[in-house]
Amino acid sequence: MGYVTQTVKLKQYTCWSLCLIATLAGSLAQAGVVEKCADAFDQLTWQKNQWSTASLNVSKTDPCPESKLGDSSGALAFDVSFSGKGFEHMLIEPADGLQVPGKLKRISFYAKIKRDSRNYGFTVGFVDGWGMNKDDRNRKLEYSLGSKINEQWQLFSFDIPSDWVQPIRITGFGTHNYSARNESGKTTLYVDQLVVETDTTDVDPNTGKLKSWTPGPAMKDGKPAPQPVTPLLSTNLSTTQQHNIFAGRQPTLQLSARSWLEGTRTGTFSWTITDAAGNRVATDSKNVTVESQLALSQTLSLPRFGLYTTEAQMKWDGGAIVKESMQLAYLPQPVKLTQQQKEDSPYGMNVHGGRSRMIQTFRDAGMVWFRDYAFNYKWMVRAKGADKTYSGWPWFPPMVKEYNDAGAMLLACHPDAIADFNEFNTENADDIKPDLNWTREMVDLLLAFPSIKYHELDNEYDLPSQGNAKFEVGKGWPNYQNYHKKFGEIVNLIGDGKLVAVENGRAGTWPQRLINDIESGSFKNIDVVNTHHYCGVDPPEINVNNNNTDGVTQTIAKLYFDQLRDIEKISGMDGKPRPHWVTEFGWDTKAGHIVSHLEQAAYLQRSYMMFMAAGVDKAFWFFDLDSKDANNFFDGCGLVDHEQKPKLAICSFAALAHLLPTPKYVGMLDAGPGTWGYVFEDGGQLTAAMWTIKDVKGPTVQFKGAKLYDYLANPIAGDSTELGLTAVYAKGISRQSNWFAQTAYHLASPMLESVTSGDSITADLAINNLRDDAIQGQIDVELPKGWQTRVKKVPFSCQKGEKTSIQIPVTLAADAPDGESLVKLHITESGKPIKTVSLRVRVQKRLSILATSLVGQPGESSTHVKLVNASASQSVGGKLHVNIPGSWQTPSKVIAINAIAPRQTLEMDIPVTWSPQWATNESASLRFVAANGEEVAMNLSPGQMTMHAGKDIKIDGQLGDWDAAHQLPAWTLGSTKPQSDARLYMAWTPEGLLLAGEVEDSVVRNTDPKSFWHCDVFELFIDTNANATKRKFVKGDHQFWFVPRPEENRMYIGQWKRGDELSATQFDIAGIQSACRRSGNGYTFEMLLPAKHIAGYTAKQGKKMGVNLNLSVQSELGPREIYWPQSKKHGDISNPAGWGVMILGQ
């Protein structure tokens, strides 16, 4: 075997190293049997298997001098270390896999070993064509190097047994320490020149599949392993870093080509590299020749940090073209931190150590803290073992060691540690409070890992869909408090005050619940309070609602920034200082609330900085990597993609951690309306960061004397730049600059007030003087027309090093219109404008009403009513009028309501006896009339209606051919907003159900119709058996969803699987007639749902069906829902017992 090395100069960017590896073909035993070099072991392309528990270091070494398998240019040394803390194992595997096509006959390689006094044996492992690593007699598919291996190079050959199922994959070299598991030790395996002999006669030349292969037995998923595919001629594009992420050093590309064909193959390799903006930074091509294996490597000279895309093409002579594409990240060098700086670092992320880990890669990008879900309480109990080492899956000791070796800070999250009500089939918290066994388990896991200082009790125990909230809310969350009290006591006792007890990761931000928990005494030993929040598609600075699973829409709108500050104020209310950690936040680029990659990268930096400004101690990005599919929100929240390759987001994070490695928040600043920013002190230097909130382009700003950097940490020439969505950093701003002067001022009161006309509020301006001299200045108050304040001009002074605040009372005009206005505080010092602090005031309806529908059989029933007073300062009383058809009854049609206090809700049950009969001009509603004449009303929906037959209706999106009888009476539809702004139509035919609607005030959000719950969507629940019982879905139950696609003049139609009614969820069902078009500020839709898709459908007059309708509309002012009879927002629509009844009429 020979090799050739060539070095050529390519433009100013790169230097190629071309290594051609070939084998002597020799005389073959028969046509189709080839001998090929499977790996020359001259590249660092072998690695530790994810689940190996020993330690491994791979390095290049001198080649084997023998030449029976061909000349060698280098070998690899595999240094394996065992800790002596129990049984450990190691599998050294090829990074790109080593599947051999055809029928493998023999493998040969050179090897030698260096070891201490212990005899660690090595084996070569295999997986057969059925995905098995054992034969039918439970014997491992492996070849033992046995006692033959020693410290001298030797040739090893192994003939593959004839009864092994082909084709064969070589999994790697394995060893373990079973015979000396309680003693530390080391061994080094040296390997060179792996040559295989395989018969490719029966291989399909086009696909690489073995023609004689047949499926094997079922695997764990109940299906046989897929057929192995190995092209006879292939290429692979990679880099020298496992995840293509290079921090502080230029990337090196690798292209490998492999031929299992006889003879040699020639071709042309070409490549192009572009940056994230699409600019080409390098390109070239090279003629290559390959007999067995080809390796090309190139160290780049990229001009800027960021994300790059490499497009490569191998054009083989003869016409075959193979294209490869990959992304790589070139990141700035992370700053080395002391242990205390790591402890103080605000930068964290969520991971799951039970799957492929990337700890060192993320550490190289500057990540410090890792919140790991793999420390699941139930998993740890199962993995503990009699020796209490927790060595069962997912093998906790090596996982913890990997964190320690990487110098990472670990937050061990223990999901499932709090007992669920549903799991124990009880509604009483005393039945499931932590017992002695739970205490012992918690003590054991704390003692087993002394290096883990931080422990989190659980993850989103309080998520509404988990079912615990319905048992806890009305009782003050006793189970939550019981477990936190015991957890805090255990952690404090076992750790002697040095371990840190972190609260369960709350699914949202609920200040009042935190107040109750602290006042109850259950948080006495809880050291960190913990919240989760997802902004959806909103920029972090202006977000209000939490878009987490079971997300919450606030009745009284409050900025997320202000919610964070509330938690900060409450967390230490009992005198115990408790940091606030946000252990989940993020944005998604694939599913649900979809943002662009640039927006994800921008919001990542901006949110970390916002958290620091709001007093949050640490924040943990969710998640480390994307899911392969894009079915649900969170699937695209990763910093890397599902193949563990970089996204723009990890470049953004690395730049933030590089530019602000040890930040200390100083204050806020801006460059006018629509801009936002902060100043931080880091390493004795002031750094300003600024951006636009929503606009792609903003004003040009100047930072005299500072060095400017973009959001990827690339220098910006000069001292001026244009603002945009991504942050601009100015390092070294002067303490005498106006930018620094701005940081003295901010609103201590909420930055967004949600009030009603006539309300009184107070703008609380905080002043923090960090300058060298006293501050003298004046505040000029600018108000909307008709609003009042006692003081229009407020002079002030603040001494050096002091803090003060100024309260400015404001009363809204009695006729202030709904919408948003600004109270502007113009701040000057010695007549010089410094800053304008704006208070956003959202004026909304004072009153709102919500009433449940009348479900079940006609007759005696009741509606549960909630009356909400949204005023910040005014109580309200009046009368509630119950308007019902003449055939219905209620004890009192007028109910006197005493004063409802500001920001309070009055709840009551009103008995109603109802029937499905009413006159055309009759309706049912609740109307509250306040003492001042203000009114608010809501429809009272009946649980039974008639659906009329339809005919001569054309599916074209034009609704002129629908009769008035087909429109669902407007008063029967519920709405979560005062105006539904929607009309719905239904009709039955022998062919199926006709459905139509006219929707106003919609932004038509439809980017991810698979995740329809985040879209504009019409949902139809059908029970063709009209069996109103509480149950899981069975045959005859249906949930259809319809997402408007006006740009395609159709509705995206799917059917969701909830139980045994379907084999699988159906996405984008084909062959259904539908139409959809934009209309005004909304859309119109129309469709025929075929009878064949409705199990048990009978088109017969008098037939009854259970039905629930839910129309979700996304508008500029927020989402609303129109429904009959049950609301998704306020009810359990998955329970057919609560649906209405439709009777097929004339």
- Give tens-digit pLDDT for 211-243: 999 999 988 778 899 999 988 888 888 898 989
**Which tops the pLDDT comparison, 210 or 96?**
210
Helix (H) or strand (E) run with residue 650 in it: helix 648-659
Take residue 244 and report the two structure tokens written for it: 């293509």
Query: What is the dihedral sign for C-alpha 1125, 1130, 1132, 1137?
Result: negative
Check whether 9 has a pLDDT greater than 60: no
Let me know: does 497 contact 539? Beta carbons within 8 Å: no
Is residue 834 within 8 Å of residue 777, measured between CB atoms? yes
CA gap 653, 662 in Å, rounded: 14
Q: Which pTM does this prediction carry?
A: 0.86
Q: Which domains does the chain have, with CATH numbers?
A: 33-199 (2.60.120.260), 339-346+373-548+560-662 (3.20.20.80), 665-736 (2.60.40), 745-843 (2.60.40.2310), 847-939 (2.60.40.10), 944-1144 (2.60.40.1190)
Angle at 348 between CA 347 and CA 351, to 5 degrees: 160
- Taking 3-state DSSP, the helix, strand and coil percentages for the chain, each rounded to the nearest 5, stand at 15, 40, 45
Per the omega criterion (within 30 degrees of 0), is the bond before 167 cis? yes
Do residues 775 and 797 make contact, with C-beta atoms less than 8 angstroms apart? Answer: yes
Does 808 score more than 90 pLDDT?
yes
| Model pLDDT, residue 554 | 65
Average pLDDT of every residue of the chain: 92
Q: Which residues contact 777 (CB under 8 A, 6 or more apart)?
A: 795, 796, 797, 827, 828, 829, 830, 834
Examine the pLDDT at 1085 and tell me if it is beyond 90: yes
Q: Taking every pair of C-alpha atoms in the chain, what is the biggest distance, in angstroms?
A: 104
pLDDT recorded at residue 154: 95
Q: How confident is the model at residue 553 (pLDDT cuts 50, 70, 90)?
A: low
Asked if residues 305 and 311 have their Cβ atoms less than 8 Å apart, the reply is no
Residues 274, 275, 279, 282, CA torsion sign:
negative
pLDDT at 645: 96
Residue pair 376/353 in contact (Cβ under 8 Å)? The answer is: no
CA distance 283 to 308: 13
User: What backbone torsions phi and psi does residue 656 show, to the nearest 5 degrees?
Assistant: -60, -45
**Among candidate residues 586, 452, 566, 450, the one with its CA nearest the CA of residue 511:** 566
Whole-number Å distance between alpha carbons of 719 and 1116: 38
CB 21, CB 41: distance < 8 Å: no
What is the per-residue pLDDT for 552? 61
529-532 and 1082-1090 as β-strands: parallel, antiparallel, unpaired? unpaired
Amino acid residing at 172: G
The better pLDDT of the pair 1119, 1106 is held by 1106
- The pLDDT confidence band at residue 977, using thresholds 50, 70 and 90, is confident
Q: Mean pLDDT, to the nearest integer, of 663-685?
A: 97
What string of DSSP letters covers 463-520?
-GGGS-HHHHGGGT-HHHHHHHHHHHHHHHHHTTT-SEEE--BBSS--HHHHHHHHHT
| Length of the chain, in residues | 1146
Query: In this predicted structure, what is the pLDDT of residue 1119?
Result: 87
Q: Which of 124, 123, 141 is nearest to 132 (CA)?
A: 141
* Encoded amino acid at 192, one letter: D
Mean pLDDT across the stretch 709-730? 98
Give 366-405 pLDDT, tens digit per residue: 999 999 999 999 999 999 999 999 999 999 999 999 999 9
What is the arithmetic mean of pLDDT over 894-914? 95
